[in-house]
Chains A and B, each alone.
Chain A
Amino acid sequence: AQTVTQSQPEMSVQEAETVTLSCTYDTSESDYYLFWYKQPPSRQMILVIRQEAYKQQNATENRFSVNFQKAAKSFSLKISDSQLGDAAMYFCALETSGSRLTFGEGTQLTVNP
Protein backbone atom coordinates (compact mmCIF):
# COMPACT_ATOMS: atom_id res chain seq x y z
CA ALA A 1 0.00 0.00 0.00
CA GLN A 2 1.11 3.54 -0.61
CA THR A 3 0.33 6.62 1.42
CA VAL A 4 0.74 10.37 0.98
CA THR A 5 0.70 12.76 3.92
CA GLN A 6 0.40 16.53 3.90
CA SER A 7 0.85 17.77 7.45
CA GLN A 8 -0.11 21.39 6.82
CA PRO A 9 -3.89 21.76 6.41
CA GLU A 10 -3.49 25.53 5.87
CA MET A 11 -0.69 27.87 4.89
CA SER A 12 -0.54 31.56 4.12
CA VAL A 13 1.95 33.76 2.32
CA GLN A 14 2.31 37.42 1.47
CA GLU A 15 2.10 38.35 -2.16
CA ALA A 16 5.56 38.25 -3.83
CA GLU A 17 7.00 36.11 -1.03
CA THR A 18 8.03 32.44 -1.15
CA VAL A 19 6.18 29.57 0.48
CA THR A 20 6.95 25.87 0.82
CA LEU A 21 4.29 23.17 1.09
CA SER A 22 5.30 19.86 2.65
CA CYS A 23 4.53 16.33 1.54
CA THR A 24 5.80 12.94 2.68
CA TYR A 25 4.97 9.61 1.15
CA ASP A 26 5.50 5.93 1.64
CA THR A 27 5.82 3.22 -0.96
CA SER A 28 7.76 -0.02 -1.31
CA GLU A 29 8.15 0.51 -5.04
CA SER A 30 11.41 1.76 -6.50
CA ASP A 31 9.81 3.18 -9.64
CA TYR A 32 7.28 5.90 -8.99
CA TYR A 33 6.22 9.40 -9.89
CA LEU A 34 5.20 12.32 -7.75
CA PHE A 35 2.87 15.18 -8.60
CA TRP A 36 1.54 18.42 -7.22
CA TYR A 37 -1.96 19.42 -8.24
CA LYS A 38 -3.67 22.75 -7.66
CA GLN A 39 -7.41 23.08 -7.05
CA PRO A 40 -8.57 26.72 -7.18
CA PRO A 41 -12.05 27.80 -6.05
CA SER A 42 -13.42 26.64 -9.41
CA ARG A 43 -12.49 23.13 -8.16
CA GLN A 44 -10.81 22.26 -11.46
CA MET A 45 -7.75 20.12 -10.73
CA ILE A 46 -4.66 21.44 -12.49
CA LEU A 47 -1.33 19.64 -12.73
CA VAL A 48 1.41 21.92 -11.39
CA ILE A 49 4.55 19.82 -11.52
CA ARG A 50 5.75 16.24 -11.96
CA GLN A 51 8.85 14.47 -10.63
CA GLU A 52 10.26 11.13 -11.69
CA ALA A 53 11.73 9.24 -8.74
CA TYR A 54 14.72 7.99 -10.69
CA LYS A 55 15.80 11.54 -11.50
CA GLN A 56 17.89 13.27 -8.85
CA GLN A 57 17.38 16.68 -10.38
CA ASN A 58 14.48 18.58 -8.87
CA ALA A 59 11.69 19.51 -11.28
CA THR A 60 10.88 23.17 -11.93
CA GLU A 61 8.05 24.90 -13.76
CA ASN A 62 8.46 28.67 -13.82
CA ARG A 63 7.80 29.87 -10.24
CA PHE A 64 7.12 26.35 -8.98
CA SER A 65 9.89 23.98 -7.93
CA VAL A 66 10.18 20.89 -5.80
CA ASN A 67 12.63 19.63 -3.23
CA PHE A 68 12.68 15.88 -3.73
CA GLN A 69 14.45 13.95 -0.97
CA LYS A 70 14.13 10.31 -1.97
CA ALA A 71 15.78 8.79 1.09
CA ALA A 72 13.55 10.81 3.38
CA LYS A 73 10.50 10.21 1.14
CA SER A 74 9.82 13.90 1.10
CA PHE A 75 8.46 15.97 -1.79
CA SER A 76 7.91 19.63 -0.97
CA LEU A 77 6.62 22.32 -3.32
CA LYS A 78 8.16 25.80 -3.35
CA ILE A 79 6.22 28.68 -4.83
CA SER A 80 8.32 31.76 -5.50
CA ASP A 81 7.03 35.29 -6.02
CA SER A 82 3.57 34.24 -4.85
CA GLN A 83 0.65 35.73 -6.72
CA LEU A 84 -2.99 36.14 -5.75
CA GLY A 85 -3.89 33.56 -8.38
CA ASP A 86 -1.83 30.96 -6.54
CA ALA A 87 -4.45 30.81 -3.79
CA ALA A 88 -5.87 27.30 -3.94
CA MET A 89 -5.90 23.86 -2.39
CA TYR A 90 -2.71 22.00 -3.26
CA PHE A 91 -2.58 18.21 -3.39
CA CYS A 92 0.48 16.02 -3.43
CA ALA A 93 0.03 12.71 -5.26
CA LEU A 94 1.97 9.51 -5.89
CA GLU A 95 1.72 7.04 -8.75
CA THR A 96 3.57 3.72 -8.82
CA SER A 97 4.13 1.37 -11.76
CA GLY A 98 1.36 2.89 -13.85
CA SER A 99 -1.27 2.32 -11.22
CA ARG A 100 -3.70 4.85 -9.93
CA LEU A 101 -2.84 8.10 -8.19
CA THR A 102 -2.92 8.30 -4.39
CA PHE A 103 -3.56 11.80 -3.04
CA GLY A 104 -2.70 13.54 0.20
CA GLU A 105 -5.28 15.42 2.22
CA GLY A 106 -4.40 18.78 0.73
CA THR A 107 -3.01 22.12 1.91
CA GLN A 108 -5.15 25.24 1.60
CA LEU A 109 -2.92 28.14 0.54
CA THR A 110 -3.99 31.73 1.15
CA VAL A 111 -2.13 34.57 -0.54
CA ASN A 112 -2.40 37.89 1.29
CA PRO A 113 -2.12 41.12 -0.71
Chain B
Amino acid sequence: DGGITQSPKYLFRKEGQNVTLSCEQNLNHDAMYWYRQDPGQGLRLIYYSQIVNDFQKGDIAEGYSVSREKKESFPLTVTSAQKNPTAFYLCASRRKANYGYTFGSGTRLTVV
Protein backbone atom coordinates (compact mmCIF):
# COMPACT_ATOMS: atom_id res chain seq x y z
CA ASP B 1 0.00 0.00 0.00
CA GLY B 2 1.19 3.53 -0.73
CA GLY B 3 1.82 5.87 2.12
CA ILE B 4 4.24 7.93 4.16
CA THR B 5 6.58 6.31 6.63
CA GLN B 6 8.12 8.29 9.45
CA SER B 7 10.81 6.84 11.64
CA PRO B 8 11.51 6.44 14.41
CA LYS B 9 8.20 6.72 16.23
CA TYR B 10 9.93 7.91 19.40
CA LEU B 11 13.29 9.65 19.57
CA PHE B 12 15.28 10.89 22.52
CA ARG B 13 18.00 13.47 22.15
CA LYS B 14 20.56 14.80 24.56
CA GLU B 15 20.99 18.52 24.67
CA GLY B 16 23.59 19.71 22.16
CA GLN B 17 23.05 16.82 19.76
CA ASN B 18 21.73 16.89 16.23
CA VAL B 19 19.12 14.30 15.30
CA THR B 20 17.55 13.38 11.98
CA LEU B 21 13.94 12.38 11.49
CA SER B 22 13.18 10.22 8.49
CA CYS B 23 10.26 10.68 6.11
CA GLU B 24 9.77 8.41 3.10
CA GLN B 25 6.82 8.27 0.70
CA ASN B 26 5.95 5.89 -2.11
CA LEU B 27 3.00 7.89 -3.39
CA ASN B 28 4.96 9.57 -6.19
CA HIS B 29 4.04 12.95 -4.68
CA ASP B 30 6.12 15.94 -5.69
CA ALA B 31 5.58 18.14 -2.64
CA MET B 32 6.57 17.24 0.90
CA TYR B 33 6.21 19.11 4.18
CA TRP B 34 7.39 19.06 7.80
CA TYR B 35 5.13 20.31 10.57
CA ARG B 36 5.69 20.66 14.29
CA GLN B 37 2.86 20.11 16.77
CA ASP B 38 3.02 21.22 20.39
CA PRO B 39 0.44 20.25 23.04
CA GLY B 40 -2.79 22.13 22.61
CA GLN B 41 -1.59 23.85 19.48
CA GLY B 42 -2.12 23.49 15.80
CA LEU B 43 0.48 22.48 13.26
CA ARG B 44 3.25 24.90 12.38
CA LEU B 45 5.20 24.58 9.15
CA ILE B 46 8.94 24.06 9.44
CA TYR B 47 10.09 23.41 5.86
CA TYR B 48 8.56 22.32 2.59
CA SER B 49 9.76 21.10 -0.77
CA GLN B 50 7.81 21.22 -3.99
CA ILE B 51 10.42 19.50 -6.13
CA VAL B 52 13.63 17.52 -5.78
CA ASN B 53 16.70 19.57 -4.86
CA ASP B 54 14.60 22.54 -3.82
CA PHE B 55 13.04 23.50 -0.50
CA GLN B 56 11.73 26.57 1.30
CA LYS B 57 11.58 27.72 4.90
CA GLY B 58 8.26 27.67 6.64
CA ASP B 59 7.18 29.71 9.63
CA ILE B 60 9.53 28.18 12.22
CA ALA B 61 12.63 27.05 10.30
CA GLU B 62 15.23 28.29 12.77
CA GLY B 63 17.20 25.42 14.26
CA TYR B 64 16.11 22.93 11.61
CA SER B 65 17.54 21.79 8.27
CA VAL B 66 16.28 19.56 5.46
CA SER B 67 17.41 17.97 2.22
CA ARG B 68 15.51 16.68 -0.80
CA GLU B 69 17.91 14.58 -2.84
CA LYS B 70 15.27 12.06 -3.87
CA LYS B 71 11.59 12.46 -4.61
CA GLU B 72 10.71 9.82 -2.06
CA SER B 73 12.69 11.20 0.87
CA PHE B 74 12.59 14.41 2.90
CA PRO B 75 14.61 14.05 6.11
CA LEU B 76 14.49 16.70 8.83
CA THR B 77 17.50 17.44 11.03
CA VAL B 78 16.87 19.06 14.38
CA THR B 79 20.08 20.87 15.24
CA SER B 80 21.47 21.94 18.59
CA ALA B 81 20.46 25.49 17.66
CA GLN B 82 16.78 24.56 18.16
CA LYS B 83 16.20 25.69 21.74
CA ASN B 84 12.99 23.84 22.43
CA PRO B 85 12.89 20.76 20.21
CA THR B 86 10.61 18.56 22.31
CA ALA B 87 7.49 18.17 20.18
CA PHE B 88 5.58 15.91 17.84
CA TYR B 89 6.77 16.11 14.23
CA LEU B 90 4.56 15.31 11.26
CA CYS B 91 5.63 14.79 7.69
CA ALA B 92 3.17 15.16 4.83
CA SER B 93 3.06 14.97 1.07
CA ARG B 94 0.72 16.26 -1.56
CA ARG B 95 -0.38 14.70 -4.85
CA LYS B 96 -1.52 17.93 -6.43
CA ALA B 97 -2.44 21.37 -5.28
CA ASN B 98 -5.66 21.91 -3.37
CA TYR B 99 -6.42 18.25 -2.71
CA GLY B 100 -5.14 18.13 0.82
CA TYR B 101 -2.17 16.36 2.26
CA THR B 102 -1.36 12.77 3.19
CA PHE B 103 0.33 12.56 6.57
CA GLY B 104 2.75 10.15 8.18
CA SER B 105 2.16 8.80 11.67
CA GLY B 106 4.62 11.20 13.27
CA THR B 107 7.76 11.17 15.40
CA ARG B 108 7.73 12.15 19.05
CA LEU B 109 11.05 13.87 19.89
CA THR B 110 12.04 14.36 23.51
CA VAL B 111 15.14 16.13 24.78
CA VAL B 112 16.60 14.45 27.83
Query: How many of chain A's residues have a CB under 8 angstroms from any CB in B?
Result: 24
93-111 of chain A: CB within 8 A of chain B: 95, 97-98, 100-101, 103-106
Q: How large is the interface on B (under 10, 10 to 19, 20 to 34, 35 or more residues)?
A: 20 to 34
- Minimum CB–CB distance from B72 to chain A (whole Å) comes to 20
Contacts of B40 in A (CB 8 A): 9, 105-106
Contacts of A6 in B (CB 8 A): 42
Task: Given A35-B100, A50-B99, A98-B98, answer yes or no on A43-B105 (Cβ-Cβ < 8 Å).
Answer: yes
- A-B Cβ contacts below 8 A, count: 52
- Minimum CB–CB distance from A34 to chain B (whole Å) comes to 10
Q: Mark B36-68, 1 if CB is under 8 A from A, else 0.
A: 000011110100100000000010000000000
- Minimum CB–CB distance from B90 to chain A (whole Å) comes to 7
- Minimum CB–CB distance from A37 to chain B (whole Å) comes to 8
Contacts of B90 in A (CB 8 A): 45
Cβ-defined partner of B103 (8 Å) among A33, A44, A52 = A44
Does B33 make an interface contact (CB < 8 A)? yes
A103→B43 contact, CB < 8 A: yes
Spell out B's residues near A (CB within 8 Å): 33, 35, 40-43, 45, 48, 58, 88, 90, 92, 97-103, 105-106
Spell out A's residues near B (CB within 8 Å): 4, 6, 9, 33, 35, 37, 42-47, 50, 52, 91, 95, 97-98, 100-101, 103-106
